[in-house]
Amino acid sequence: MQNSLQPTYYFDCDHPDIRNAVQSITGDCKNQVEVLQQLFLFVRDQIPYNMYAVTGNQIYYKASKILEMGTGYCVQKAILFTALGRAAGVPSRLVLVAIRNHLTPPDVVKLLGGNVFFPHAYSQFFLEGRWVNVAATYDQPLCARLGAAVPEFDGYHDTLLPATDLAGHQFIEYIENFGIFDDLPWQFIVDKMPEYYDSGLEDWFIDEPVYIRYKRSGSGIG
């Protein structure tokens, strides 16, 4: 349990910006459930989901750096959420999985070579005697564009991405679980990615988030 409270390279919960964020977000909360609810809302909506935030540079997977960027894809958002939880005194860890998004746009399917996404991650928190799984991945505007329900966290029940959209179409399918981690298993992810992506990693796993490169080039992506 103690490992789930400790700072690490990625979960730098002792960073002043992380601690200040927790104080600002949760200052009026009365208990840990309220704390996690407020942190969930912050990560869900104030750190918008951006699939083009992917990068091969480990610095962009540090919670303090993700907070500074103000955006991220699923893994980065889960890292930030986990670090915020630890900074608030809640045992927190990372769950690493692969998912299939059945509503992936055709252009993204072409770009990635399919509709399976790895790595995908969400957070796990120890609240009131048990571990709760929570994904703060998709922000409200994105859910509206996708026609999906906005995930809500009541502090007691698992909150993961929806299996169907609001029209009843199959949406997110969790297809493989790689376990629970007290720190980001970077080398495992790097070694595993070629199993999911036949080509194109050299265009995505670069030294800076993809959206920054595209912005600099004037493409408008991200």
Half-sphere exposure of 154 (CA within 13 A, CB side): 3
> pLDDT (tens digit, 9 = 90+) per residue, 16-37?
999 999 999 999 999 999 999 9
pLDDT per position as a tens digit, 41-99: 999 999 999 999 999 999 999 999 999 999 999 999 999 999 999 999 999 999 999 99
Question: Over 90: is that where the pLDDT of 217 sits?
Answer: no
Residue from 73, 75, 81 nearest 21 by CA: 81
pLDDT tens column, 90-119: 999 999 999 999 999 898 888 788 999 999
Residues 43, 104, 210, 187, Cα dihedral to 10°: 80
DSSP 3-state of 123: strand
| Count of Cβ atoms closer than 10 Å to residue 23 Cβ | 11
pLDDT band, residue 142 (cuts 50/70/90): very high
pLDDT one-digit tens code per residue, 148-186: 999 999 999 999 999 999 999 999 999 999 999 999 999
State what percent of residues in the chain have pLDDT above 90: 82
The CATH classification number of 2-217 equals 3.10.620.30
- Provide φ and ψ at 158, rounded to 5°: -55, 140
Query: Is the model's pTM score more than 0.75?
Result: yes
Domain ranges of the chain: 2-217
